[in-house]
């Protein structure tokens, strides 16, 4: 039975469980169409998508080349079992491998999203090395299923810990604005973080560690850009102990940080890369793992004991192929560098204007705003990993009133527009943020 547009919000609240939210408190708009950088609600109100959905719609909404490819594939074939070969599957795998940094090449393994990609990358690493343990950072998010929850370091893993994947060990990674290593010097932060990581490896027995999983730039935990040399230092430690390095490129891939992948932006080569989101610009679910050839060939004479019903789904494959073509045709893998310069200028101007905005950081078209109640002491406006979002909903509600959508966690907002965003779009986003920060400051002072 079709639901009329005016009843969409009522029906949604009645019948849909919205992720990561207390259901009674939420009241977002009902989005019914989207085009380019904009989404439109049931009343026709326009919102600039300043977070690319969930850091995923890199091409913007409704890219005509991608939509046409999806329609064409529907007429050809919509499902082929992963045990059979398929032309689109082979074509996308080859295209992804050609984007990878390994001279010897590699192979692609397809999943349905980033969560399953990260879990399966760990399975691959454990199988190939015969080792049981995996390291990941405390300030990280790698998915919400039982296995990926264990890989996640922050508080979204807490409710599932009793039944989560075993053998995962967490470590502290650099966070220059709030250093866990008690320094304000980036070079010192890097040295201390690598010394800490080496100590964790030795305490866990390096010969029992299969892999280290890390986001090249921290994603939903605050868009933390690591100090120069940190990722290279991790690569060196992994090489020293025979540990496989897995980059979680679910958010950082496909132009988001100004290069095809985050590892490429920072000149560090992993052994496996997980991907999702931007591979199809989120038009259809798709994830996977790109595996360097020396590891992939392990399975030439051994069964690979993993798979999914929708692995390499033809409709997702056609969408991914067209998305890659659109990235290349539009020069979008490096477009983030231009957005970075312009967006940073806008946001630093707002930081100078508003005391409540403590830090602006980012890479490419991927930025975070961190709000504080005391700039000198760097006191978070809302306690991280607390039980409440405090006054932060006032900021996001104000943005929506001003025609801009963004999302965030606790005292941090993520600003990550589609790679097609123009200078005018960035200026409009900045103007809305300016007003929303003023409303946030007023809400905080009223509450305190």
Residue 4 has a pLDDT of: 56
Q: Are strands 46-49 and 38-41 parallel, antiparallel or unpaired?
A: antiparallel
Instruction: Per residue of the chain (448 residues), give pLDDT as tens.
Output: 455 555 777 888 888 888 888 888 888 888 999 999 999 998 999 999 999 999 999 999 999 999 999 999 999 999 999 999 999 999 999 999 999 999 999 999 999 999 999 999 999 999 999 999 999 999 988 988 888 888 988 888 878 777 678 899 999 999 999 999 999 999 999 999 999 999 999 999 999 999 999 999 999 999 999 999 999 999 999 999 999 999 999 999 999 999 999 999 999 999 999 999 999 999 999 999 999 999 999 999 999 999 999 999 999 999 999 999 999 999 999 999 999 999 999 999 999 999 999 999 999 999 999 999 999 999 999 988 777 888 999 999 999 999 999 999 999 999 999 999 999 999 999 999 999 999 999 999 999 8
Contact (Cβ atoms closer than 8 angstroms) between residue 100 and residue 290: yes
The structure tokens 């199809």 sit at: 280
SS3 assignment for 74-140: HHHCCCCCCCCCCHHHHHHHHHHHHHCCCCCCEEEEEECCHHHHHHHHHHHHHHHHCCCEEEEECCC
Instruction: Report how far apart, in Å, the C-alpha atoms of 262 and of each of 115, 123, 268, 314 are.
Output: 18, 22, 9, 27
Q: Where in the chain is the domain with CATH 3.40.640.10?
A: 65-329
- Report the C-alpha gap between 373 and 441 in whole angstroms: 9
Residues in the chain: 448
- Report the C-alpha gap between 55 and 138 in whole angstroms: 21
Q: How many CB atoms lie within 10 A of CB 104?
A: 10
Q: Where in the chain is the domain with CATH 3.90.1150.10?
A: 5-58+334-447
Contact (Cβ atoms closer than 8 angstroms) between residue 151 and residue 168: yes
Residue 1 has a pLDDT of: 47
- Report the C-alpha gap between 153 and 172 in whole angstroms: 9
Kindly tell me the burial class for residue 302, based on how many C-beta atoms sit within 10 Å of its own C-beta (0-12, 13-18, 19 or more): exposed
Domain 65-329 sits in CATH 3.40.640.10: yes
Contacts of 368 (CB under 8 A, 6+ apart): 222, 223, 224, 359, 360, 361, 362, 408, 412, 413, 414, 415
- Report the C-alpha gap between 210 and 133 in whole angstroms: 6
CA atoms within 13 A on the CB side of 81: 2
Torsion region of 441: left, alpha or beta (phi above 0 gives left; psi -120 to 50 gives alpha): alpha
Of 292, 249, 236, nearest to 124 by C-alpha is 292
Distance of CA 384 to the CA centre of its chain: 19
Pick 5-58+334-447's CATH classification: 3.20.20.480, 3.20.20.70, 3.90.1150.10, 3.40.50.2300. 3.90.1150.10
Instruction: Give backbone dihedrals phi and psi of 244, rounded to 5 degrees, phi first.
Output: -80, 140
The structure tokens 């100004």 sit at: 258
- Report the C-alpha gap between 437 and 353 in whole angstroms: 10
Of 45, 18, 50, 14, nearest to 29 by C-alpha is 45
């Amino acid at each position: 039975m079709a639901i009329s547009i005016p009843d969409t919000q009522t029906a949604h609240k009645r019948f849909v469980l919205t992720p990561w939210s207390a259901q009674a408190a939420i009241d977002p708009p009902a989005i019914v169409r989207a085009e380019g950088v904009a989404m439109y609600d049931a009343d026709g109100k326009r919102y600039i998508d300043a977070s690319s959905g969930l850091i995923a719609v890199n091409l913007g909404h409704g890219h005509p080349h991608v939509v046409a490819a999806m329609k064409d594939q529907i007429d050809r074939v919509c499902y082929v079992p992963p045990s059979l070969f398929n032309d689109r599957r082979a074509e996308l795998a080859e295209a992804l491998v050609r984007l990878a940094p390994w001279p010897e090449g590699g192979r692609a393994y397809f999943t349905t999203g980033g969560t399953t990609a990260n879990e399966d990358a760990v399975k691959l690493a454990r199988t190939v090395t015969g080792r049981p343990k995996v390291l990941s950072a405390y300030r990280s998010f790698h998915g919400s299923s039982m296995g990926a929850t264990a890989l996640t370091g922050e508080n979204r893993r807490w409710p599932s810990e009793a039944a989560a994947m075993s053998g995962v060990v967490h470590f502290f990674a650099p966070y220059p604005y709030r250093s866990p290593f008690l320094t304000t010097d980036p070079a010192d932060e890097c040295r201390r973080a690598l010394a800490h990581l080496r100590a964790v490896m030795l305490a866990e027995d390096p010969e029992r560690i299969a892999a280290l999983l890390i986001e090249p730039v921290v994603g939903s935990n605050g868009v933390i850009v690591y100090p120069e040399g940190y990722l290279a230092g991790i690569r060196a430690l992994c090489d020293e102990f025979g540990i496989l390095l897995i980059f979680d490129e679910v958010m950082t891939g496909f132009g988001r940080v100004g290069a095809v992948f985050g590892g490429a932006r920072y000149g560090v080569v992993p052994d496996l890369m997980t991907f999702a989101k931007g591979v199809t610009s989120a038009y259809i679910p798709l994830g996977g793992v790109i595996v360097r050839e020396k590891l992939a060939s392990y399975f030439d004479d051994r069964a690979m004991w993993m798979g999914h019903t929708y692995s390499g789904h033809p409709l997702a494959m056609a969408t991914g192929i067209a998305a890659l073509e659109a990235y290349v045709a539009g020069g979008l893998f490096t477009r983030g560098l231009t957005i970075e310069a312009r967006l940073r200028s806008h946001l630093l101007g707002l930081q100078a204007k508003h005391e409540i905005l403590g830090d602006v950081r980012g890479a490419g078209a991927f930025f975070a705003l961190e709000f504080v109640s005391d700039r000198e002491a760097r006191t978070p406006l809302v306690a991280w990993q607390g039980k409440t979002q405090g006054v932060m909903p006032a900021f996001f509600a104000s943005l929506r009133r001003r025609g801009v959508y963004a999302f965030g966690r606790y005292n941090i907002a993520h600003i990550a527009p589609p790679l097609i965003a123009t200078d005018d779009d960035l200026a409009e986003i900045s103007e809305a943020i300016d007003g929303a920060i003023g409303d946030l400051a007023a809400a905080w002072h009223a509450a305190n």
